[in-house]
Homo-oligomer: A and B are copies of this chain.
Amino acid sequence: MQAMRQTRAITLATAAPEPAAYYPSNGAVGAEEAIPDIVIRRLPVYVRTLRGLRERGIRSVSSDALAGHIGVTAAQIRRDLSYFGKFGKQGKGYDTEFLAAAIARILQLDRQWRVALAGFGNLGRAITHYRGFAPSSFTIATVFDRNPDHIGQEINGLRILSDACLTEVIAAEDIRIGIIAVPAAFAQETADRMIAGGVRAILNYAPVVLKVPAMVTVREIDPVSALQSMTYYVNAAG
């Protein structure tokens, strides 16, 4: 039916609807990929929570206490961690700083990632000005737009570049992560060109299901769908 499928774009499905033939090849091959993506998606929350505890001076935490903060079960945390090794001390719990660093390392957050942003409309502007990316391991390295009025403009010491040279700049700068904040109609094309430049992970804000090769990971940010699914549960006259 389709030649390309979204990979790990698991906003909607529990498991990747990936045909066996398109087996992913993310980084290392072999025994890896036994770890469910849903586990990987929970790890950032663990890191964030552990860092928060650490900042509040809490040096040690049990899986039960951590579960309470995050809103999952203690068994789930222990099971998730067991995919990667043994991080706790029996009878004691986990060292918050140590565990945060260990998970961050697993996620490759122990370095800074340069990110390419496509689209400098309302959303792109908000993303550019957002202060939360830098401390989370991400630096907006380049911004692209189609609008000639925007091109050449300077923001945060970043010059907005023409969309036309997106592939080339991404390749030249060796960027592996892209954020798509362009109108829906241009999203697929932008994704294709990012991937051609070497991007292997895409954060997609456009309300479009991107078709990408198996080596590329996509996550959708879709506030409209989120709202539209919540209305199912809201009792209108309440």
Q: Is the CB of B106 within 8 A of A232?
A: yes
Q: Is A102 an interface residue (CB 8 A)?
A: no
Q: How far is the CA of A73 from the CA of B123 in the complex (A)?
A: 32
**Are B225's CB and A44's CB within 8 A?**
yes
Given A12-B38, A203-B226, A224-B132, CB of A64 within 8 Å of CB of B232: no
Cross-interface CB contact of A227 among B6, B40, B177, cutoff 8 Å: B177
Report A82-121 residues with CB < 8 Å from chain B CB.
Answer: 106-109, 111, 113, 115
Verify B26–A234 contact, CB threshold 8 A: yes
Interface residues on A, range: 35 or more
C-alpha gap A229/B203 in the complex (Å): 11
Note all chain B residues with C-beta closer than 8 A to A111: 236
A54 adjacent to chain B (CB < 8 Å): no
Within the complex, the shortest CB–CB distance from A64 to chain B, in Å, comes to 6
Residue of B nearest to A48 (CB): B207
**Interface pair B26/A235, CB less than 8 Å apart:** yes
Known contacts A17-B72, A17-B73; is A228 also within 8 Å of B109 by CB? yes
Contact A177 B72 (CB under 8 A): no
**Is A41 on the interface with B (CB-CB < 8 A)?**
yes
Closest residue on chain B to residue A224 by CB atoms: B136
Beta-carbon contacts of A1-41 to B below 8 Å, as 1s and 0s?
11001101101111001000000101110000000001011
Contact A48 B225 (CB under 8 A): yes
Whether a CB of chain B sits under 8 angstroms from the CB of A151 is no
**B219–A226 contact, CB under 8 A?**
yes
Q: A47 contacts which chain B residues (CB < 8 A)?
A: 228
Of B2, B122, B137, B227, the contact of A231 (CB 8 Å cutoff) = B137
With beta carbons under 8 angstroms apart, the residue of B67, B107, B130 that contacts A229 is B107
